[in-house]
Amino acid sequence: MDQMTLELTQALVSRRSITPDDAGCQTLIADRLKAIGFAIHHLPVGDVSNVLAIHGQSGPTLLFVGHTDVVPPGVESDWQSPPFTPSIRDGRLYGRGTADMKGSIAAFITACERIAPNQASLPFRIAILLTSDEEGPARDGIAQIAPQLTSYLSSVDYCLVGEPSSRNQLGDTIRVGRRGSLTATVTVAGKGGHVAYPEQVDNPAHRLSQFLGELADTTWDTGTDAFPPTSFQVTHLETDTHTSNMVPGSAIAQFNLRYSPALTHTDIIQRIETIAHRHIGDDQLSLIWHLSAKPFSSEPGALRTAITQAIQATCGIEVEANTAGGTSDGRFIAPLGAEVVELGPVNASIHQIDESIDIAELDQLSELYEATLHRLARLVRAPNQ
């Protein structure tokens, strides 16, 4: 078993890179890439670290996108071993970021290192873009750097995102798009008072609950061939009182919609505001909207073909392409015209206590990325293969 991918993953996991702190991960990676001929561009924005590495001078560009930041570990004493001390047990590597997504980054780096002697013969550039702001606000990472890419690259044609896409075994699922994410915070004003005098109060919790009930019962769309129907979920509820004999003076809720390209966020906002006005007066209502992601999808192209062929050859399984899951940084690259596909390890333990990855899966993922590069090279040279 090749130890290179495992050792690099361990080195990355040992760095406590909770958003937005990169904790030296990108410097370690940049040094490895510079040694095999990549040009390195550090592109910090505020407290966020971003790095762009480029190899090759001409042809289309394959961009690998990843993030070196991780979510907080939670209560560290709940872990069987310290979350930032990579530990091996029963053939698995444990630690925060092993699956999401330091293992993917290490696998792609070692794939590049193996093909380095022949990389100049590839008919495309390889670029790698990493950020330490994916798990947090995602404002100063790929969102900021994507519009700048044309200063470094003539085009971005293919984008491979290393998010943990696999469900039960490596390669069983790839993502070819993601739903949009729209969040609202709604505040309803009323008139508080004693519960024994209902004629003297105007309960905002009642109005809010009626409004939310209609939203929960609404069929937003039927989805598309690539996307499930839009979903609505209430994520937070509170009032300004916490006693059993007081009617609150105000009530607040937060809700989120994950939506497909069958709708725009403007469509959704208009429909919800219309529903709100059926239950709540204008002078009693406040709606604050936050659009964190627009939906995107990529039509089948050379990258999807290369990845599918590589999975079939390396893993011996059929591949499901879908748009499930949360948001990813692929949403910032898709508007550049790139074909975006996400491929990474099994996601069963991500963001959880005792996050881990199968050590054999690390090696296989590196082989899979290498096979993808070779198969994409064939397709670029001979598009009709």
pLDDT tens string 273-330: 999 999 999 999 999 999 999 999 999 999 999 999 999 999 999 999 999 988 999 9
The single residue of 69, 113, 358, 361 carrying the catalytic annotation is: 69
Q: Are residues 170 and 309 in the same domain?
A: yes
CA separation for the pair 67, 19 (Å, rounded)? 10
Q: Annotated binding residue at 100? A: yes
**What are 100-148's pLDDT values in tens digits?**
999 999 999 999 999 988 877 889 999 999 999 999 999 999 999 999 9
Q: Are residues 55 and 169 in the same domain?
A: yes
How many Cβ atoms from other residues are within 10 Å of residue 195's Cβ?
Answer: 14
Q: Are residues 143 and 201 in the same domain?
A: no
- Residue by residue, pLDDT tens for the chain (385 residues) are 579 999 999 999 999 999 999 999 999 999 999 999 999 999 999 999 999 999 998 899 999 999 999 999 999 999 999 999 999 999 999 999 999 999 999 999 999 999 988 877 889 999 999 999 999 999 999 999 999 999 999 999 999 999 999 999 999 999 999 999 999 999 999 999 999 999 999 999 999 999 999 999 999 999 998 999 999 999 999 999 989 999 999 999 999 999 998 899 999 999 999 999 999 999 999 999 999 999 999 999 999 999 999 999 999 999 999 999 889 999 999 999 999 999 999 999 999 999 999 999 999 999 999 999 999 999 999 876 5
The answer to whether residue 69 is catalytic is yes
Q: Are residues 274 and 208 in the same domain?
A: yes
Q: Are residues 244 and 318 in the same domain?
A: no
Q: Are residues 40 and 145 in the same domain?
A: yes
Q: Choose among 53, 51, 33, 32: nearest CA to 43.
A: 51
Q: Are residues 185 and 307 in the same domain?
A: no
Q: Are residues 84 and 141 in the same domain?
A: yes
Find the domain containing 257 and state its range.
Answer: 180-293
Residue 132, helix vs strand vs coil? coil
Q: Are residues 359 and 289 in the same domain?
A: no
- Name the domain boundary from 273, 293, 313: 293
CA separation for the pair 60, 57 (Å, rounded)? 10
Q: Choose among 39, 226, 64: nearest CA to 158.
A: 64
Q: Are residues 289 and 305 in the same domain?
A: no
The single residue of 134, 339, 361, 363 carrying the catalytic annotation is: 134
Q: Are residues 143 and 14 in the same domain?
A: yes
Q: What is the pTM of this model?
A: 0.91
Q: Annotated binding residue at 135? A: yes
Q: What angle do CA 318, 303, 224 make, to 5 degrees?
A: 70
- Name the domain boundary from 232, 258, 293: 293
Residue 328, helix vs strand vs coil? coil
Q: Annotated binding residue at 67? A: yes
In a 13 Å sphere around the CA of 34, the CA atoms on its Cβ side amount to: 11
CATH code of 353's domain = 3.40.630.10
- Name the domain boundary from 229, 259, 293: 293
CA separation for the pair 215, 212 (Å, rounded)? 5
Share of the chain above pLDDT 90, in %: 93
Residue 324, helix vs strand vs coil? coil
Q: What pLDDT, on a 0 to 100 scale, did the predictor assign at position 176? A: 97
Sign of the torsion formed by the C-alpha atoms of 326, 255, 222 and 338: negative
Q: Are residues 151 and 216 in the same domain?
A: no
Q: Which residues of 19-49 are buried (b: 16+ CB within 10 A; e: fewer)?
A: bbbbbbbbebbbebbeebebebbebebeebb
CATH code of 208's domain = 3.30.70.360
**Number of separate domains in the chain:** 2
